[in-house]
């Protein structure tokens, strides 16, 4: 891992203006993605993880407003870059996206290879034949036979379509690939194969990857560093070993309790009571406060600011100093289900 | 005595080409063999997990047990009585004993019904109790699934969260007082943090109200948390069955080994072994005889391609795999 950040984001906020008032989908998010690493964003539905990447790629719907202090990509300031230039020089060429339900993102009436050729030729001046050669190479990288290029999407299985989308994302050697739930909805064996493929690609072409998923097991296996997102904020951010071995934030503790592992058959799972927050109106408390068994008075009136625990380990919690004892308490079901 | 018994059950679907194809091109009728030669028992008060990938026949199996799709061959017995050939009123009455909880709580509740009416619909349709009796039972069951009746009775599904909706789905299955509940991926649409709550609820209710449960999922980590016994299916064939811990900790069949080896583990230190199987899952259209996993199996030989070893279901505690080559598989292989 190099120490130079490919992507630097500081204080990113996204709000959607709706008739019910502004929805603060993403608040005060800051992170770096370094060269050659997989950065994971874990969170449940509605936590703002998809909005965050849409904001980075300028794909927000018209009522979405993005404000930030810094979005810097390889030295370019992405906040001030005109849309035209962004689309031509950055999108796809430098930052590409494997969208959620990528399986259904291919145009059903065009051959798979032709769609990738089109993407290549939209950004790079080259002949159709050169582009086709490139597609054949890409198919090889993602583990598809080159002669499948002239098939239609319906002739592909779900896993093959997913691999074709990954091939398309790799087409122009981008420095950063964003993958939004790349294996959700795929069968276990297919998922295993695609994850293995993604790891291989990362080693081979030295791109950075942002991986977004709700599946903590996938995050654990794939990522170098992880951010846990809740209510539009990064609640905890750490290297994956640190996050799994010394989690600090109560939400992270809760998620770990709630997630089954095949290596612990029959172990008790503990759910987190309550519901995710609505995010309408101004945010004046910790978003996890209503569900948190360790809340104190201050949590309801003030938003916690990031606290650095160790190098590259940050959390937003007023009780970060007591993490050790909270971690012990969080193991018991009574902590989560009786205090409320 | 077993609650349900499936004896050599098949379910085939016909793919009949159109008239022109049949007459001019002489395309033959083909068959999708969704479930083949399945023997299975469901004991009282047990949770049977069925695992497998898409197209393995797990949902078809559920439909047959629920009486929604009769088998094309074989017999299904319920408390010793044959039920696969029931018709009309007898079938209607039998269905009360087998209720389903569906995968998608966003699609399976009628958006124009209030919670009370959704839950009361089954008992009303069957005229199980007078209206007042239905009222008290609906209130009871809503309370049991953790939805306070006074607060939730008059709500519409769109006013509920995903977890609350799935609780309504569970209530409307249980209000019928079934002896068997079939849950087909009931957690896959829900958030991680609330899944455990629904699992606990289902397990607790099964013990309290004495029903058996068939829990279908492709997620082995979740099955590892609810099932007593596990059945693994591949392309319509039952490949392995046994008590949960034995199947997950010491899988026998090469497919089960690959499947369990591929489940992601929430531990960044874990290094996964590379599975030794190749290729993609086929479609069960006119499959050749023998074991359907054979084309992808590193151990397959001629005998595998000729005959399929069925499972002997006389003893529910017996852990067994439908494989000719068990002796050739060593423990360090995946």
For A135, the token pair is: 């597609």
What is the residue whose two structure tokens read 């599946």?
Answer: A215
Minimum-distance CB partner of A265 among B192, B199, B224? B224
How many contiguous H segments (helices) and E segments (strands) does chain A have?
A: 11, 13
Contacts of A157 (CB under 8 A, 6+ apart): A190, B280, B281
Q: Which residue of B has its CA nearest to A240?
A: B268
- Which backbone phi and psi does A283 adopt, to 5 degrees? -100, 110
Give me the domains of chain B, ranges plus CATH numbers: 4-97+178-264+271-328 (3.40.50.300)
Residues of chain A above pLDDT 70, percent = 98
Per-residue pLDDT reduced to its tens digit, B191-203:
888 888 888 889 8
Mean pLDDT of B25-53: 89
Q: Are B309 and B238 in contact (CB under 8 A)?
A: no
Q: H or E element: which one contains A328? A: helix A323-330
Instruction: Answer yes or no: are the C-beta atoms of A283 and A258 closer than 8 Å.
Output: no
Q: Provide Rg for chain B, Cα atoms.
A: 21
Of B196, B263, B277, the CB nearest to A269: B196
**pLDDT tens sequence across A105-162:** 889 999 999 999 998 998 888 999 999 999 998 898 888 888 889 999 988 888 888 8
- Which chain B residues contact residue A261 at CB under 8 A? 221, 265-267
User: Per the CB < 8 Å rule, is A272 touching B194?
Assistant: yes
Q: In chain A, which residue's Cα lies nearest the Cα of B161?
A: A275
Summarised one tens digit per residue, pLDDT across range A273-331 is 887 887 887 788 899 999 999 999 999 999 999 999 888 899 999 998 888 899 989 88
Q: By the 8 A CB rule, do B295 and B282 touch?
A: yes
Contact present, B193 and A272 (Cβ < 8 Å): yes
Q: Give the pLDDT of residue B253.
A: 92
Contact between chains at A244 and B199 (C-beta distance less than 8 A): no
Q: Give the gap in angstroms from C-alpha A275 to the nearest C-alpha of chain B.
A: 8
The mean of the pLDDT values for chain B is 89
- ipTM above threshold 0.85: no
* CA dist., res. A324 & res. B331, Å (int): 39
Q: To probe the interface with B, which of A37, A181, A265 has the most B CB atoms within 10 Å?
A: A265
Query: Among B295, B289, B287, B306, which Cα is nearest to B255's?
Result: B295
List the structure tokens of B63.
Answer: 């439909």
pLDDT for res B242: 94
* Residue ranges in chain B assigned as alpha helix (H): 19-23, 58-65, 88-95, 115-126, 131-144, 149-152, 162-174, 192-209, 220-226, 244-249, 254-262, 302-306
Q: pLDDT tens-digit profile of A174-184?
A: 999 999 988 87
Contact B270 A220 (CB under 8 A): yes
Distance CA A18, CA A240 (A): 36
A197-211, B97-111, B162-176: segment of lowest average pLDDT: A197-211
- Mean pLDDT (chain A, rounded): 88
Mapping DSSP to helix (H, G, I), strand (E, B) and coil, where does residue B300 land?
A: coil
What is the per-residue pLDDT across B210-228, written as a single tens digit (0 to 9) for each?
Answer: 999 999 998 899 999 999 9
The alpha-carbon gap from B225 to the nearest alpha carbon of chain A, in Å, equals 5
- Which regions of chain A does DSSP assign to beta strands (E)? 5-18, 21-34, 38-42, 64-67, 70-73, 76-77, 95-98, 176-180, 208-213, 225-230, 233-239, 307-310, 313-315
pLDDT at A1 over 70: no
pLDDT for the residue numbered B331: 64
Q: Where are the domains of chain A?
A: 1-82+178-188+209-340
Q: Token digits for A243?
A: 């996050």
Q: Taking CA atoms, what residue in A is nearest to B258?
A: A189
Question: How high is the pLDDT of residue A340?
Answer: 46
pLDDT at A185 over 80: no
CB-CB under 8 Å, B274 with A244: no
Residue of B222, B228, B229, B266 to mutate, interface with A, max A Cβ within 10 Å: B266
Closest chain A residue to the Cα of B194, Cα to Cα: A271
How far apart CA A25 and CA B171 sit, in angstroms, is 33
Across the interface, which of A44, A240, A262 has its CB nearest the CB of B192? A44
pLDDT, position A2: 47
pLDDT at B332: 59
For the segment B34-46, the average pLDDT, to the nearest whole number, is 91
% of chain B residues with pLDDT over 70? 99
In angstroms, how far is CA B93 from the centroid of its own chain?
A: 22
Q: Are A220 and B54 within 8 A, CB to CB?
A: no
Pairwise CA distance, residues A45 & A303, whole Å: 22
pLDDT in tens, B68-119: 888 999 999 999 899 988 888 898 889 899 999 988 888 889 999 999 999 9
Is B266's CB within 8 Å of A275's CB? no
- pLDDT for residue B105: 84
Tokens of A3: 């120490």
Contact between B268 and A241 (Cβ < 8 Å): yes
- Nearest-angstrom CA–CA distance, B83 and B220: 31
- Find, in chain B, the residue whose alpha carbon is nearest to that of A159: B280
Confidence band, pLDDT 50/70/90 cuts, at residue B142:
very high
pLDDT at A169 over 50: yes
Residue B333 has pLDDT above 60, yes or no: no
> Beta strand B4-15 with B30-42: parallel, antiparallel or unpaired?
antiparallel
The DSSP result for A26-83, as a single string, is: EEEEEEEEETT-EEEEE--TTSSHHHHHHHHTT---TTEEEE-SEEEETTEETTTS-H
- Contact present, B192 and B137 (Cβ < 8 Å): no
Helix ranges (H only) for A180-296 are: 188-205, 216-222, 240-245, 250-258
Cβ neighbors of B19 (< 8 A, separation 6 or more) are: none
Selected residue with higher pLDDT from B331 and A293:
A293
Determine whether the interchain pair A217/B264 forms a contact, defined as Cβ–Cβ distance below 8 Å: yes
Which chain B residues are within 8 Å of A269, Cβ to Cβ?
195-196, 199-200, 225
Closest in A216, A255, A260 to B225, CB measured: A260
User: Which residues in chain A are closer than 8 Å to B267, comparing Cβ atoms?
Assistant: 220, 244, 261, 263
- CA gap A261, A174 in Å, rounded: 34
Reduced 3-state DSSP string for B151-217 = HHCCCCHHHCCHHHHHHHHHHHHHCCCCCEEEEECCCCCCCHHHHHHHHHHHHHHHHHHCCEEEEEE
Query: Within 10 Å of residue B143's Cβ, how many Cβ atoms?
Result: 14
Distance (Å, whole) CA B278 – CA B329 = 17
pTM of the full predicted structure?
0.87
Whether the CB-CB separation of A68 and A13 falls below 8 Å is answered with yes
Token code pair at residue A187:
């069968």
Residue A259 Cα, gap to closest chain B Cα (Å): 7
How far B94 CA sits from the closest chain A CA (Å)?
33
* Nearest residue of chain A to residue B268 (CA atoms): A220
Chain B residues with a Cβ under 8 Å from any Cβ in chain A: 53-54, 161, 163, 191-200, 218-222, 224-225, 244-245, 248-249, 258-270, 272, 274-275, 277, 280-281
Residue A187: per-residue pLDDT: 83
Number of residues that this document lists for chain A: 340
Burial class (CB in 10 A: 0-12, 13-18, 19+), A147: exposed
Alpha carbons B227 and B222: distance in angstroms, whole number: 9
**CATH fold of A1-82+178-188+209-340, please?**
Rossmann fold (3.40.50)
């Amino acid at each position: 891992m190099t120490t130079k950040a490919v992507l630097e984001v500081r204080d990113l906020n996204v709000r959607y203006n709706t008739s019910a008032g502004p929805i603060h989908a993403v608040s005060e998010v800051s992170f770096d993605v370094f060269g050659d690493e997989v950065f994971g964003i874990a969170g449940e539905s509605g936590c703002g993880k998809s909005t965050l990447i849409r904001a980075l790629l300028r794909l927000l719907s018209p009522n979405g407003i993005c404000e930030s202090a810094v979005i810097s990509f390889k030295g370019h300031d992405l906040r001030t870059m005109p849309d035209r230039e962004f689309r031509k020089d950055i999108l796809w060429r430098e930052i590409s996206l494997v969208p959620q339900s990528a399986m259904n993102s291919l145009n059903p009436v065009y051959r798979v290879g032709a769609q990738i050729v089109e993407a290549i030729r939209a950004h790079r001046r080259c002949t159709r034949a050169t582009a086709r050669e490139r597609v054949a190479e890409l198919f090889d990288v993602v583990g598809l036979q080159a002669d499948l290029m002239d098939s239609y999407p319906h002739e592909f299985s779900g896993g093959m379509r997913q691999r074709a989308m990954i091939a398309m994302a790799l087409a122009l050697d981008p420095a950063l690939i964003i993958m939004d739930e790349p294996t959700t909805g795929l069968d276990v064996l297919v998922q295993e194969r695609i994850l293995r493929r993604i790891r291989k690609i990362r080693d081979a072409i030295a791109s950075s990857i942002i991986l977004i998923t709700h599946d903590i097991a996938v995050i654990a296996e794939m990522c170098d560093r992880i951010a846990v997102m809740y209510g539009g904020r990064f609640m905890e951010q750490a290297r994956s070993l640190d996050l799994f071995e010394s989690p600090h934030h109560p939400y992270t503790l809760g998620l770990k309790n709630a997630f089954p592992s095949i290596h612990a058959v029959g172990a008790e799972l503990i759910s987190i009571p309550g519901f995710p927050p609505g995010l309408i109106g101004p945010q004046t408390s910790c978003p996890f406060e209503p569900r948190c068994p360790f809340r104190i008075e201050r949590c309801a009136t003030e938003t916690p600011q990031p606290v650095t625990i160790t190098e590259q380990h940050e959390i937003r919690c007023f009780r970060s100093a007591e993490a050790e004892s909270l971690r012990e308490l969080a193991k018991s079901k009574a902590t989560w289900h009786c205090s409320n | 005595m077993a609650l349900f018994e499936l004896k050599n059950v098949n379910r085939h679907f016909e793919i009949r080409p159109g008239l022109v194809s049949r007459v001019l091109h002489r395309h033959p009728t083909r068959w999708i063999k969704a479930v083949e030669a399945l023997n299975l028992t469901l004991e009282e008060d047990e949770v049977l997990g069925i695992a497998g990938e898409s197209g393995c026949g797990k949902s078809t199996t559920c439909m047959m047990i629920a009486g929604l799709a009769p088998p094309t061959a074989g017999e299904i017995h319920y408390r010793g009585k044959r039920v696969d050939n029931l018709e009309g009123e007898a079938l209607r009455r039998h269905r009360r004993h087998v209720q389903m909880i569906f995968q998608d709580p966003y699609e399976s509740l009628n958006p124009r019904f209030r919670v009370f009416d959704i839950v009361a619909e089954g008992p009303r349709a069957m005229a199980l109790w007078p209206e007042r009796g239905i009222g008290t039972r609906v209130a009871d069951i809503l309370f049991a699934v953790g939805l306070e009746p006074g607060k939730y009775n008059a709500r519409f599904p769109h006013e509920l969260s995903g977890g609350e909706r799935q609780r309504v789905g569970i209530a409307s299955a249980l209000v019928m007082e079934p002896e068997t509940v079939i849950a087909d991926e009931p957690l896959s649409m829900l958030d991680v943090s609330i899944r455990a709550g629904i699992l606990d609820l289902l397990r607790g209710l099964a013990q309290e109200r004495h029903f058996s449960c068939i829990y279908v999922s492709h997620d082995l980590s979740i099955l590892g948390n609810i099932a007593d016994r596990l059945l693994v299916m591949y392309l319509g064939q039952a490949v392995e069955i046994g008590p949960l811990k034995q199947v997950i900790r010491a899988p026998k069949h090469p497919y089960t080994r690959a499947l369990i080896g591929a489940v992601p583990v929430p531990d960044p230190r874990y290094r996964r072994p590379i599975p030794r199987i190749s290729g993609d899952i086929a479609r069960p259209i006119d499959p050749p005889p023998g074991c359907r996993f054979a084309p992808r199996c590193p151990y397959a030989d001629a005998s595998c391609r000729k005959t399929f070893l069925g499972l002997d279901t006389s003893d529910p505690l017996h852990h067994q795999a439908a494989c000719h080559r068990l002796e050739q598989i060593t423990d360090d292989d995946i």
